[in-house]
Structure 1
Amino acid sequence: MAENDRMEPGLPDVKLLTLFDVLYRTRSVTRAAEQLGLSQPTASIWLGRLRDQLGDPLFVRTPAGMSPTPRADTLIVPGREILESLRRFAHWDTSFEPETTERQFRICMTDASHITLLPTLLVELRRQAPRARLVATGIDKRTEQALQSGEADLAIGFAPWLGPGIRRQELYAQDWVCLASRRHPRIQSPLTLADYLAADHVAVPSGTGSNLLDEALAQERTTRRVVLELPGFLGLGVVIGRTDLLVTVPRHIGETLARASGLTVHPCPLPVEGFTVGQHWHPRYHEDPGNRWLRNLVARLFLADRPTPAPGPAQQSS
């Protein structure tokens, strides 16, 4: 029997899967070709081969770029798992040298963490692993899948929807504070509940733990007068500093914005349930040396200086 007869037919070439992965991320044949060091005609030929093998267009041209088909959306996770397994198979190593690594780390974070945690993490990462690359992405309903497939190394934040199979290490607890301009005409210290309810507010409905604030208002059978909604924390400090509005936010982002914009910080007079920020990873990568190094770096930087119980199996970092 010839050697080719023993090979399983119909399996896509690794280079085609790599193109699929990069094209799915960039939504552009031109940019995918550039990242892979290919000419655009070669990338188009490879895409044609993959389309023939899988019996689907995979990507269709739209004004926004090459949009994936439903079949491509279904195949991207197993495709990336195959690529990650092959990389580990080819480069299996139980050691990790941060000084020389060129690894790309991908961390899912809330936009609040982009402001509060990312600058500190980036400075230390560049000091210890100067040739590594860091990619920060949002934390959302796809995060668990990204951790499982290896598309993301860690998720940092408050993510109670992550399943029980995801490992977790608590970093620090958060309560709630209110921010106001130093020149606010009516807000005094301490901020009373009456003053809070009489004020005009900014809401960040997508912010970390915002549902906890909504639940607290419902529990008190009261509402705030919201005059501005923002999609995130970008620009929030400037808005509060230049108006007579209040905003209710978790303490870490609140104190960070207050320092940057010269705001006053007040304990929230409304009893809002606190929460704990943690780092999360998939058990598949628990023993991965690079993932372990990154987790320990995050813990050294952000683990609160407080006694903590011994971590259970779903909390251990190393």
Structure 2
Amino acid sequence: MNPDIPLIDIKLLRLLDALHSTGSVTRTAELLGQSQPTVSIGLGRLRTQLGDPLFVRTPQGMQPTPRTEALIGTVREVLDGLRRLSESQARFEPAAAQREFRIFMTDASHITLLPRLFTHVCALAPQVRLEAATIHPGMAAALQSGEADLALGLIPGLEAGFYQQALFDQDWVCLAHPTHPRIRPRRFTLKDYVRESHVGIVSGTGQQLLEATVKERGVERNVVLKLPGFLGLPAIVSTTDLVATLPRHIGETLARVAGLQVLPCPVPIPGFTVKQHWHARYHHDPANVWLRSVCADLFMDRSARATQRT
């Protein structure tokens, strides 16, 4: 870019175009919503910058000089290009979209959130596909690069460069067989909790919070069976006397499926917030905005906190 060439204000280019079309300072002022003195001042600036009278007053009105005639085509190309640029904001039309969204989810979210999300997306965007990806250490890079679109769950590792939005809060419950011989509904005490044998989940940030809390409080759990995820948990609890401790959302979902009883957890385990996370690069991407809005509409507790950037 040559610093010796003066930049022409876009408003002055519009003035030049309008004056060429109308041949009248008065009508140009009306067309642009300006006063006649303002138009005259603008024309004076253009004459100075371009080194030419540009228009000459005649009985037939303001007539363009040869320099103006040579420039007007280029001026209109510039103005037309700017109009197209302003009108070409990307849009996402879910009904016609053909793409795949990749979402990092916790094991629990596969059971509690994904069915509702998939059903809703199918209804609004029948050609859109979803992939539920397992949370792993490389997901931050995948979200930054666009290989993935969103992450759902308790994911404290997504920090610098990410936005987050709270969806709903979680506390903790226990699950047991509905006819457990030693557990009485609504009277499940810490003594009962310590006495019973447990089935535990070995993965997930929520389970790490559980393990840290029982250890800190000196609660001795007799965990006789460990599972990598929630998939086999309903069958285990419904056919044994084992007790499971897990977040309320997944706990109540599994209880409904397997006919289990839900008990208040007698250990005061800190609650947590399930959030959706996305990278700042895609904060204004129309497709990402749409997907986030769908998740918020489906899952957000309306008292939850607003969008935050970490």
Same fold (TM over 0.5): yes
SS of the equivalent of 1:134 reads strand
What corresponds to 1:302 in structure 2? 299
In the alignment, which of 98, 105, 110 is matched to residue 102 of structure 1? 98
In the alignment, which of 241, 245, 254 is matched to residue 238 of structure 2? 241
Instruction: Extract unaligned runs of 5+ from structure 2.
Output: 1-87
SS of the equivalent of 1:195 reads helix
What corresponds to 2:204 in structure 1? 207
SS of the equivalent of 1:249 reads strand
Q: CA deviation at 1:278?
A: 0.3
Q: CA deviation at 1:292?
A: 0.3
How many angstroms apart in 2 are the aligned matches of 1:254 and 1:288? 35
What corresponds to 2:216 in structure 1? 219
How many angstroms apart in 1 are the aligned matches of 2:275 and 2:290? 16
What corresponds to 1:126 in structure 2? 122
In the alignment, which of 111, 116, 122 is matched to residue 115 of structure 1? 111
Q: Judge conservation of contact 1:168–1:279 (CA < 8 Å) in 2.
A: yes
Partner AA of 1:290 in structure 2: A
What corresponds to 1:166 in structure 2? 162
Matched, 1:231 2:205: no
Q: 1:30-45 maps to which residues of 2 (within 5 A)?
A: none
Partner AA of 2:106 in structure 1: T
Q: Judge conservation of contact 1:208–1:250 (CA < 8 Å) in 2.
A: no
In the alignment, which of 233, 244, 247 is matched to residue 250 of structure 1? 247
How many angstroms apart in 1 are the aligned matches of 2:100 and 2:214? 42
The share of aligned pairs that are identical, in percent, is 53
In the alignment, which of 181, 184, 200 is matched to residue 188 of structure 1? 184
Partner AA of 2:276 in structure 1: Q
SS of the equivalent of 2:234 reads helix
- For residues 235-291 of structure 1, give each alpha carbon's deviation from its aligned partner in whole angstroms, at most 9, with x where no partner exists: 211110110000000000000000000000011000101110000000000111000
Q: Judge conservation of contact 1:112–1:208 (CA < 8 Å) in 2.
A: no
What corresponds to 2:195 in structure 1? 198
How many angstroms apart in 1 are the aligned matches of 2:225 and 2:304? 39
Query: Kindly tell me: are residues 118 and 157 of structure 1, through their superposed partners in 2, closer, same or farther at Cα, counting changes over 3 Å?
Result: same
The alignment's C-alpha RMSD in Å is 1.4
Instruction: Extract unaligned runs of 5+ from structure 1.
Output: 1-91
In the alignment, which of 123, 140, 146 is matched to residue 144 of structure 1? 140
How many angstroms apart in 1 are the aligned matches of 2:122 and 2:205? 27
Q: CA deviation at 1:156?
A: 0.4
Partner AA of 1:261 in structure 2: A
Q: Judge conservation of contact 2:105–2:151 (CA < 8 Å) in 1.
A: yes
How many angstroms apart in 2 are the aligned matches of 1:128 and 1:120? 13
Q: Judge conservation of contact 2:166–2:305 (CA < 8 Å) in 1.
A: no
Query: Kindly tell me: are residues 264 and 211 of structure 1, through their superposed partners in 2, closer, same or farther at Cα, counting changes over 3 Å?
Result: same
Number of equivalent positions: 222
Matched, 1:292 2:289: yes
- For residues 199-219 of structure 1, give each alpha carbon's deviation from its aligned partner in whole angstroms, at most 9, with x where no partner exists: 000010103411111111112
SS of the equivalent of 1:100 reads coil
How many angstroms apart in 2 are the aligned matches of 1:308 and 1:269? 26
How many angstroms apart in 2 are the aligned matches of 1:282 and 1:207? 22
Structure (1 or 2) with the larger CA radius of gyration: 2
How many angstroms apart in 2 are the aligned matches of 1:171 and 1:309? 8
Query: Kindly tell me: are residues 255 and 152 of structure 1, through their superposed partners in 2, closer, same or farther at Cα, counting changes over 3 Å?
Result: same
What corresponds to 1:175 in structure 2? 171
How many angstroms apart in 2 are the aligned matches of 1:112 and 1:175? 14
What corresponds to 1:68 in structure 2? none
How many angstroms apart in 2 are the aligned matches of 1:275 and 1:310? 16
Matched, 1:265 2:232: no
SS of the equivalent of 2:147 reads coil
Moved over 3 A (4+): 308-312
Q: CA deviation at 1:164?
A: 2.8
SS of the equivalent of 1:196 reads helix
| TM-score where L is the length of structure 1 | 0.68
Q: Judge conservation of contact 2:163–2:307 (CA < 8 Å) in 1.
A: no
Q: Judge conservation of contact 2:164–2:307 (CA < 8 Å) in 1.
A: no
